[in-house]
Structure 1
Amino acid sequence: MSASIDARAAGQSLRAAYDRRIAAKIIAEFCHEQALAPLETAPDQFTLFSDDRQTEYTFVAEILSLDSWAVGESSVRRIRSGAEVPVSAVDMIVDLHEQLGIAREKLPEYLEELVHTVAIGADRSDERRVTAAELAAADFQTIEKSMTEGHPCFVANGGRLGFSAHDVAAYAPESGGSYHLIWVAARTEDCDFAAMSDVSYDDLLRHELGGDALEKFFDVLLFQGLDPDDYTYLPVHPWQWTEKAARLYAGAIAAQRLVILGPSPDRYQPQQSIRTQFNVSTPTRHYVKTALSIVNMGFTRGMSADYMRTTPVINDWVRRRVGDDAYLQSLGFEMLYEVAAVGYRDPTFAAITEPGSEYRKVLSALWRQSPVPRVTDDEQLSTMAALLHVDHLGDPLVGALIERSGLMADEWITRFLRTYLHPIAYLLYRYELKFSPHGENLILVLRDGVPVRAILKDIGEEVCVFDEPSDLPESCRRALTNETDAIRNLGILSDVFDDFLRPLAAVLHRNGLLDDARFWAVVADSVHVFVADHPDLADRFQKWDLFAPSFAAVHMNGLQLGNNRRMVDVGHSYDSILDTEHRLTNPIADPRITDPQGVHRA
């Protein structure tokens, strides 16, 4: 009996710890976005009052560079009517929702997303909790399924609205499971299939399915009196088929315009980017990304045939443009290309909807290269998001990696920046290409805990192309963007510095691994080295200044609260999402930090 009570108490303690962690993040991120304005009652001690002034939250925090609030999780206290009560992330949002600008009618849905987010860490079974020290030497997919932090800026980042509890257990990445995809055949005239120039439809299917599965699918169609040459095959997420496509397209199924072929021969593990699946049976085969009509972190996660027919073409163009670049090769930097895509257009719904409609995003898939064939036996793959991961004991994974490497923390960060910051900045300044370089979109290659190179993914849907290159195909024009020179540097200052390096600096600082000021001095040194390595880009460095004194902030949580189903239009200019009234001070702009030779000055 006592063991059962102890286990229950330990579980409650872990849930309370994760609840408190999200509560601290609510304070940190909404203070960063200036939605909350705590009262400083003593040095580094703050108080927040609820909307009705009946509840107060007290906490200890350091305000770091980029308005980054390093909140002590254990310091957060909730006091109501003079008595201390347990800290709850959900209660905190209810207490503060008016200050946060959450309309009362929108509050329940946001709370649903928040409850699910807390559960990612809090409700994990003991056998699926892995310590940071173990993860530092773990395999690629063990790291992937062990993540609990989600997007570093969004608070409610694990909503998965539309999934039941059973679905979460079956299909959510933190559940650690795997499953077969469902393959269907669709009349070819209802489909858009596209591939990169060196990929054919037949070769793709043979690579992904193998000869035996293809023969079985062939026989399924023949048995029903159908000609396989009249159909295009595509994989579907099992939830998407059961909950969405099979009902929505019942008429097409009855008319045999859509035919179920059977399960994939291989099993797939869901990734943090939840509609992307990794082949755990044959890891050298491609990732498969499929439409998934659930709401998660500001978007409904469908995929349209309109995008699928151009995604591989964009990948082809990016590969031609940068694939042979000597500097990127010297860094070991690579991209995982989306080699092929297919989208189904239901004749009824296509006729009555416009591009962008969720009814055009129900049945699509793309294939992305796997990183597994690109590493040697002494190298380790890890999502870059792992650098922000803190385990159930409160230990950061980045600290375990630094310890494993045997390097000083600042030297480890210097090497990391060379693998991550330098190629992303180079793509922007040399080729005028901006990607989405957040933690889930980068895969690190590590050797003995040291980052040695990086691999970028999500090319076709995320790339922004500037200045209308003459060789850009007409079908790729959706990737064009028109940011002015004045904000072009946000591809680094906002997307890299604020979105990823800011939370990384906070993890290092809070855990005594590297002081925030020293972290940004290392970043400044790294940027100076990068600029010095490319004197031919001096005019662009001047126009798109990486050392600008300040830059406009993007309030990501505010965007999500404004519309959690379509936060922004994909590919939309920064002009529509910046808060021009909120300027962040650039932490590497201070000339006292460092000079171009890397000599620190007082």
Structure 2
Amino acid sequence: MSPMHMQAAPYSKAALRVRRQLMEAILFEKLLDVEETNKSNGDTVFTVYGRSCLFQCIGKRSAFGRIRLRQGPYRLIGERQVRLARIEEIVNELTAEETRKQALIEELFQTIKLSDWNETKLRKTVSRRGLAYEQLEAALIEGHPYHPCFKARKGFSFDDHDRYGPEAQQSFHLVWLGVRKQDAIVHYPQEAGSFLQQELGAPVWQALVKALSEAGGQLSEYEFVPVHPWQWQALNEHLLQQAIKRGDVLYLGQFGDAYCATQSLRTVMNVEHGTKAQLKLPLNVVNTSSVRTIPPHLIAAAPAISVWLQRIIDSDPFLKDEIGVERLAEYAGVAYEPKGKQWNKAILGQIGCIWRESVPSKLRPGEQAIPMNALPLIEEDGALFIAPFIERFGIEAWLMQLFRISVIPVIHFLAEHGIALEAHGQNVILVTEKGWPKRVILRDFHESIEYKESFVKERAWIPHFSTLHQAFQSGKTDEYYWMSSLEALRELVMDTVFVYQLTELSWQLEQHFHFSEQQFWSLVDCVIRDYAARELVPPERLQALRLAAPVIATESLLTSKVTGKENCRHLVNNELGRESRTC
């Protein structure tokens, strides 16, 4: 975890991208005043008024008002001079609060440094189109297409990035700890010893038990918890010294199969047995908008939520048989949550694990799994990742099928069952056969579903969250999974499926295939209308969601980072339900 010494190159590809995405987010979220001047060639000149200086850039507004810049941002000096704006200059105009300003600048420059490292150190793959899912997870190095801190990983050094980032595809073994039973939250589908022996295999289980005994612990007094090796090093140096000294936490060593990181960083996949569980492990690292720890109450809720969602799928012939949607069960969890210790608060969410089914375990012969966020990416040959699929099947046919099997299930979960899924590009896996979309696999539910109880179809199936963890007993509406309004559910779906995901695809198809965004969103409308016309869901439930409201609220990702406030939103024009469009 040595400090990062390499300076960010001010005009590298990554630096220019960070500048561009920073200004695009500022304009989209209306963080600064702007004057827009439309030119005859279709471009828009954006003149941005900071508190102490002016900026100018050229681009256009795309679907949902998203900003796409192709020149700038420049800083205006005097009446006629311009130069490329420095990142510090832009951030300086956003806030006068010095601590937040410096934290944002640090994350932006860390993003540049790590991206520059990728550019110089990684071997480029001419095409990622034929990669197996496990290889593809590591090869999708672009990061968030909207957030300017798309690869901040605050807390990582270059060495950490090399060893524990997905890009270098380095494998590592997990650290195992023994923690006192009274300080552990355990949610296994069976008795702990039987479960871990089944997951790890008898030899590893026996080695763990022996290590526990040699460290002075007994099976009757301790639970086993896996820890990411980076996390262990960070915690051992600071937060766990007292717990280790008192024998509340026992270091057992590194055991079991080798793992490597996925694009979500804290989720690791088994490189020796691809069909075995992926593990979600807390990391005290800041990336994009949040610290990547996992609170114990979310670990406790994960298995119950998975059972709930599977019960819904199994009960619904449309989801199970016609659309074929699947979910990756988060079927077990364990967390360290000490009580009555002075380090309680500091260690909260830092040690724990969720076991989740792997993508390869769901695939059939001849199928390829592709994370949805890969679809708009550009390969080294200059063409889109999905270019061969579109050329083979035709753009309209391929898109219509994509929307049927990816967009409609999420809408159906909400309209029919009253559950909103955070179905962003990493959480939805597209399953194709020879490039044709067949179905989707959904994942990552422990912190990314919402519901309004009065709108849930089968309320008796809702997990009894208050019995899973004490945090839920005092939980307020809009704090955890249960919301006060349908607007909150609609916003989650609109943000993750449309505003921050499919807009990337609609934009790139216009650039590469001259397939206009208007045509793209017209197809989305057609698929949704066809679904509504079948009346699989009572019309009044769909209407209550107001998916086609002319103006909708969307999450302001950069604003939250700049202000430190949660639940920041701004209004955008909705692309869905335009009356002028016909199928």
Q: What is the TM-score of this pair, normalised by structure 1?
A: 0.85
- Listed one character per residue, the Cα deviations across residues 488-521 of structure 1 (whole Å, up to 9, x for unaligned) are 4334333322121222212222333521111111
CA distance in 2 between partners of 1:362 and 1:254 (Å) = 18
1:262 aligned to 247, 253, 267, which one? 253
Q: Which residue pairs with 2:545 in the alignment?
A: 544
Letter aligned with residue 284 of structure 2: S
Letter aligned with residue 171 of structure 2: S
1:21 aligned to 13, 17, 22, which one? 17
Gaps of 5+ in 1: 1-10, 569-575
Q: Deviation at 1:429?
A: 0.7
1:486–1:246 distance in 2 versus 1, CA, 3 Å? closer
2:293 aligned to 295, 302, 305, which one? 302
Where do residues 499-518 of structure 1 align in structure 2 (5 Å cutoff)? 499-518=500-519
Q: Is 1:461 paired with 2:458?
A: no
Q: Which residue pairs with 1:419 in the alignment?
A: 405
Check whether the contact 1:436–1:462 (CA below 8 A) recurs between aligned residues: yes
Check whether the contact 1:113–1:157 (CA below 8 A) recurs between aligned residues: no
CA distance in 2 between partners of 1:221 and 1:162 (Å) = 30
Secondary structure of 2:12's partner?
Answer: helix
Q: Which residue pairs with 2:323 in the alignment?
A: 331
- Listed one character per residue, the Cα deviations across residues 456-498 of structure 1 (whole Å, up to 9, x for unaligned) are 1111221112216234343256654234245543343333221
Check whether the contact 1:113–1:161 (CA below 8 A) recurs between aligned residues: yes
Q: Is 1:382 paired with 2:370?
A: yes
Gaps of 5+ in 2: 1-7, 467-471
Q: Which residue pairs with 1:128 in the alignment?
A: 122
CA distance in 1 between partners of 2:76 and 2:123 (Å) = 32
Secondary structure of 1:214's partner?
Answer: helix
The total of aligned residue pairs comes to 556
Q: Which residue pairs with 1:472 in the alignment?
A: 462
Question: Percent identity over the alignment?
Answer: 22
1:176 aligned to 169, 177, 193, which one? 169
CA distance in 2 between partners of 1:40 and 1:165 (Å) = 43
Q: Which residue pairs with 1:67 in the alignment?
A: 65
Check whether the contact 1:50–1:95 (CA below 8 A) recurs between aligned residues: no
Check whether the contact 2:262–2:269 (CA below 8 A) recurs between aligned residues: yes
Q: Deviation at 1:206?
A: 2.2
Q: Is 1:163 paired with 2:185?
A: no
Check whether the contact 1:120–1:158 (CA below 8 A) recurs between aligned residues: yes
Check whether the contact 2:177–2:227 (CA below 8 A) recurs between aligned residues: yes
Secondary structure of 2:445's partner?
Answer: coil
Q: Deviation at 1:453?
A: 1.1
CA distance in 2 between partners of 1:129 and 1:102 (Å) = 42
Q: Which residue pairs with 1:341 in the alignment?
A: 333
1:370–1:488 distance in 2 versus 1, CA, 3 Å? closer
Q: Is 1:46 paired with 2:45?
A: yes
Secondary structure of 2:37's partner?
Answer: strand
Q: Deviation at 1:227?
A: 2.2
Q: Deviation at 1:530?
A: 1.6
1:502–1:388 distance in 2 versus 1, CA, 3 Å? same
1:103–1:246 distance in 2 versus 1, CA, 3 Å? closer
Q: Deviation at 1:127?
A: 6.8
Q: Deviation at 1:47?
A: 4.5
CA distance in 1 between partners of 2:491 and 2:76 (Å) = 40
- Listed one character per residue, the Cα deviations across residues 132-157 of structure 1 (whole Å, up to 9, x for unaligned) are x6211112132222223322332213
- Listed one character per residue, the Cα deviations across residues 406-439 of structure 1 (whole Å, up to 9, x for unaligned) are 1222222211111211110111011111121111
In terms of mean alpha carbon deviation, does 549-558 or 274-283 score higher?
A: 549-558
Q: Deviation at 1:237?
A: 0.6
CA distance in 1 between partners of 2:237 and 2:206 (Å) = 24
1:390–1:117 distance in 2 versus 1, CA, 3 Å? farther
CA distance in 1 between partners of 2:100 and 2:511 (Å) = 34
Q: Deviation at 1:316?
A: 2.2
Letter aligned with residue 577 of structure 2: A
Between Structure 1 and Structure 2, the one with more helix by share is: 1
Secondary structure of 1:175's partner?
Answer: coil
CA distance in 2 between partners of 1:436 and 1:70 (Å) = 24
Q: Deviation at 1:105?
A: 3.6
Secondary structure of 1:310's partner?
Answer: helix
Secondary structure of 2:462's partner?
Answer: coil
1:102–1:508 distance in 2 versus 1, CA, 3 Å? farther
CA distance in 1 between partners of 2:192 and 2:259 (Å) = 21
Q: Which residue pairs with 2:3 in the alignment?
A: none
1:509–1:203 distance in 2 versus 1, CA, 3 Å? farther
Letter aligned with residue 554 of structure 1: E
Check whether the contact 1:278–1:287 (CA below 8 A) recurs between aligned residues: yes
Q: Which residue pairs with 1:100 in the alignment?
A: 94
Check whether the contact 2:141–2:263 (CA below 8 A) recurs between aligned residues: no
Q: Which residue pairs with 2:106 in the alignment?
A: 112
Letter aligned with residue 167 of structure 1: D
In terms of mean alpha carbon deviation, does 99-108 or 318-327 score higher?
A: 99-108
1:237–1:229 distance in 2 versus 1, CA, 3 Å? same
- Listed one character per residue, the Cα deviations across residues 33-89 of structure 1 (whole Å, up to 9, x for unaligned) are 122425426341414357477664442x2322211223226x76666566665x47x
Check whether the contact 1:55–1:95 (CA below 8 A) recurs between aligned residues: no
Q: Deviation at 1:402?
A: 2.9
Q: Deviation at 1:193?
A: 0.5
Q: Deviation at 1:116?
A: 2.3
1:534–1:308 distance in 2 versus 1, CA, 3 Å? same
Secondary structure of 2:426's partner?
Answer: helix
CA distance in 1 between partners of 2:522 and 2:276 (Å) = 41
Check whether the contact 1:269–1:279 (CA below 8 A) recurs between aligned residues: yes
CA distance in 2 between partners of 1:102 and 1:117 (Å) = 22
2:139 aligned to 117, 132, 146, which one? 146
1:227–1:68 distance in 2 versus 1, CA, 3 Å? closer
1:315–1:94 distance in 2 versus 1, CA, 3 Å? same
Q: Which residue pairs with 2:469 in the alignment?
A: none
Letter aligned with residue 302 of structure 2: T
Secondary structure of 1:417's partner?
Answer: helix
2:436 aligned to 428, 450, 457, which one? 450
1:50–1:169 distance in 2 versus 1, CA, 3 Å? farther
Secondary structure of 1:397's partner?
Answer: coil
- Listed one character per residue, the Cα deviations across residues 557-598 of structure 1 (whole Å, up to 9, x for unaligned) are 1112222xxx63xxxxxxx4433xx3x22212221102xxx2
CA distance in 1 between partners of 2:527 and 2:418 (Å) = 20
1:138–1:498 distance in 2 versus 1, CA, 3 Å? same
1:203–1:578 distance in 2 versus 1, CA, 3 Å? same
Secondary structure of 1:173's partner?
Answer: coil
Where do residues 255-294 of structure 1 align in structure 2 (5 Å cutoff)? 255-294=246-285
Q: Deviation at 1:113?
A: 1.0
